[in-house]
Structure 1
Amino acid sequence: MSPSGADEREPRSVPPGGAEGGAPPDPIAAAAAAEACAARADDELDKVLAHRDTPVPSLDELRAALQWAFEKEEVEPALLDRFAEHARFVLTGNQSMNLTAIVAPREVAAKHYLDCWRATRLLPLMGRKLLDLGTGAGFPGIPIALSEPHASVTCLDSARKRADFVGTSIAALGLRNANAVWARGEEHLARNKYDLVFIRALSSVRENVRLLRKVRHALKDLLLFKGPSWSREVRAGEREAERLGFKLDTVWEHELPGEMGQRALLVYRAPGAQGER
C-alpha cells in the first residue's frame, strides 16, 4: 500500500552530467551499483524459484507442526485443523505466487499462526469490527477470523492478485465473518470506520502512523505486530505518534518456540477512541 504522505512534487528534469549541481557520475561506481542491484534482483528471484521448487507439506505435516508450536497454549484441536487447512492453501498458492518466504512447516506454524493467534489473547475482539491493513497472504486477518468467529474481519490489500487470493481463501474455508477488499488503505478508511486496525510487516511504527494520519479518526485502536527491534521503532516514532494523537497503551513481548525469535504486539489508542475509557 502506498503511503498517503508520498511526495507529490512535480518531477524535475536532471541536467546532462548527472544530479543537479553535482559532478558527472563516476562510470565505475555506476557500473558497480548496477551490478549490485542486479545481484539483489537475482537473489530475490532465486528465493521465489526456491519456494516453487519446495514440495507443499501435507495436511498431516502441517497439523503436526501446529501441534508443536501450540504445545504450551490452550487451544481447541479443531482450530489447529482449520489453521492447517489454510496453511496448505497458502503454500499451494505460493507455488505460483510470491505469497510468503516462510515455507517450512514449523516456521509456518510459529511465525504465522502462533504469532497471529496470540493477538486474540491480548485484546477482546468479540463483536468488534477489525481491519487487516496490508493483508498479503491473509495474515493476520484469516487466523484471527478463524480464532474469533464473533468478530468481523476485513482483509485489505492494495495488490489485486493478493486481495483476490485472500478472497478465494476465505471462500474455500467457508468463513462468514471475513471478507477481502482490494483498495488503498487510506481511501478505504476515508469511507469506513473500524474498532481496531492491525498492521503486520508493513514498515516502521513511524511510517505506520504517518500512513494513517489523514484517516486516524476512523479507528479506535491500532495493533502493530513487531519483531525484537520494537523498542527502537517506538522511540524513533514516538514524537510523530504523539503529534498525530496515537497513544501507546500496551506492549506485550512474547517468544516463539524453537528459538525462532522474539515478537511484540504494540497497542496504540487512536484518535477515534477519544472520550472512551
Structure 2
Amino acid sequence: MTACDQRSVRSLISAGCRILGVPLSGEALSLFEQYGEFLAKWNRRLNLTSLHAKKDLAVLHFLDSLLVLKTLPLNAQSLLDVGSGAGFPGMVLKIAQPHLNVFLLDPNPRKMVFLKRLSSHLGLAGVYFLPTPIQELPLESFSRAFHAVVSRALSLREEQMRKIQKLLSCNGLFISMRGPGSFGDALNSPHFKLASYWAGYLPLLPVYRRVLGYTAAHERRHELHDAIS
C-alpha cells in the first residue's frame, strides 16, 4: 500500500483540486469528508457504489464530479443532475458551488432516500429532489428552468435529449461526462451543438476523462417556426 492510499478523502481531494486548478474552501473539503463517511455507512446496505478504497472514492467520484466546473457557466444558478445516483456529480457541485440551486433527478426510491438524508446530514440548502424519470418531468413546472443539465456516464435516448433541450434556459448548457471512447463531438443528437470541451487525465490515477458542453442547436429557428405555424 502506497502513502497515497493511506491518505484521507479530504487530503486526496485537496491535492487533486490543486492539480486541476479547481479552488475549494476548507468548509467544502470538510463536507466532502463527511460525505465520504456517510456514503460508506449507507453503502453497506444500499450498494450505492462499487468503490470502497478512499483513493478510488476521492478520485473516481469526487474529483471526477468536480471536472464539471471546467465547463459550467460562471453565471449558472440552477443545475439539473440527470441520474444522480449517490449524488455524483450534483451533490458534489452543490458543495463546491453553494450558490447553485441543484435538482437531483433519479427514479430509484432507495437512492432518493439516501440523497435526502445526505443533504440533511450535511446541512445543505437549495437542494431539490425529483424522484422521476426525466421523460416524466412536467414541462409546465420546469420548461427553460435550468442554466445547466448534467449527465455522468448515462446513455440518454433521443426522446430524453429532446426533453433536456426544453428544460434548458436560453444559452443553457447540457454537460456530458465521458470516458476515453470516441473523440470529438460524442453526442449524436441533432438537437445540440458542441460549445465547450475539456479532456485530460484525472489527478492521482491514470484515468482519461472528457467533459463536453452543448447548447441547443437552432433553438431560435424552431421557436420562430412554431410561432408562425
Residue 201 of structure 2 is matched in structure 1 by 255
Contact 2:71 2:175 in 1 (8 A): no
**CA-CA distance at 1:64 after TM superposition:** 3.0
Once residues 259 and 127 of structure 1 are traced to their aligned partners in structure 2, the CA distance between those partners, rounded to angstroms, is 30
**CA-CA distance at 1:270 after TM superposition:** 2.1
Paired residues in the alignment total 209
What TM-score does the superposition give when structure 2 sets the normalisation length?
0.81
Q: Which has the higher strand share?
A: 2
Question: Would you say 1:133 and 2:85 are equivalent positions?
Answer: no
Residue 221 of structure 1 is matched in structure 2 by 173
The one of 19, 22, 25 aligned to 1:76: 25
Contact 2:192 2:216 in 1 (8 A): yes
Give deviations 1:31-57, integer Å, cap 9, x for gaps.
Answer: xxxxxxxxxxxxxxxxxxxxxxxxxx9
**CA-CA distance at 1:113 after TM superposition:** 1.1
Greater Cα offset, 62-71 or 94-103: 62-71
Secondary structure of the residue aligned to 1:93 is: helix
Residue 225 of structure 2 is matched in structure 1 by none
Secondary structure of the residue aligned to 2:105 is: strand
Distance 1:71 1:270, change over 3 A: same
Once residues 162 and 208 of structure 2 are traced to their aligned partners in structure 1, the CA distance between those partners, rounded to angstroms, is 29
**CA-CA distance at 1:232 after TM superposition:** 7.4
The one of 38, 62, 71 aligned to 2:9: 62
**CA-CA distance at 1:221 after TM superposition:** 1.8
Once residues 219 and 101 of structure 2 are traced to their aligned partners in structure 1, the CA distance between those partners, rounded to angstroms, is 18
Contact 2:198 2:210 in 1 (8 A): yes
Residue 181 of structure 1 is matched in structure 2 by 130
Give deviations 1:59-118, integer Å, cap 9, x for gaps.
Answer: x83223323433424433332111111111112110101101121111111111111112
Residue 201 of structure 1 is matched in structure 2 by 153
Residue 270 of structure 1 is matched in structure 2 by 216
**CA-CA distance at 1:188 after TM superposition:** 1.4
* AA in 1 matched with 2:183: S
Question: Would you say 1:151 and 2:100 are equivalent positions?
Answer: yes
Question: Would you say 1:246 and 2:195 are equivalent positions?
Answer: no
Secondary structure of the residue aligned to 2:130 is: strand
* AA in 2 matched with 1:268: Y
**CA-CA distance at 1:262 after TM superposition:** 0.7
Distance 1:230 1:109, change over 3 A: farther
Larger radius of gyration: 1
Residue 227 of structure 2 is matched in structure 1 by none
Distance 1:230 1:198, change over 3 A: farther
Contact 2:71 2:196 in 1 (8 A): no
Contact 1:145 1:151 in 2 (8 A): yes
Once residues 99 and 69 of structure 2 are traced to their aligned partners in structure 1, the CA distance between those partners, rounded to angstroms, is 12
Residue 226 of structure 2 is matched in structure 1 by none
Secondary structure of the residue aligned to 1:249 is: strand
Once residues 145 and 83 of structure 1 are traced to their aligned partners in structure 2, the CA distance between those partners, rounded to angstroms, is 11
Secondary structure of the residue aligned to 2:45 is: coil
- Which structure has more relative contact order (CA 8 Å, sep 6+)? It is 2
**CA-CA distance at 1:168 after TM superposition:** 0.9
Once residues 221 and 62 of structure 1 are traced to their aligned partners in structure 2, the CA distance between those partners, rounded to angstroms, is 30
Secondary structure of the residue aligned to 1:118 is: helix
Identity of aligned residues (%): 27
Contact 2:9 2:36 in 1 (8 A): yes
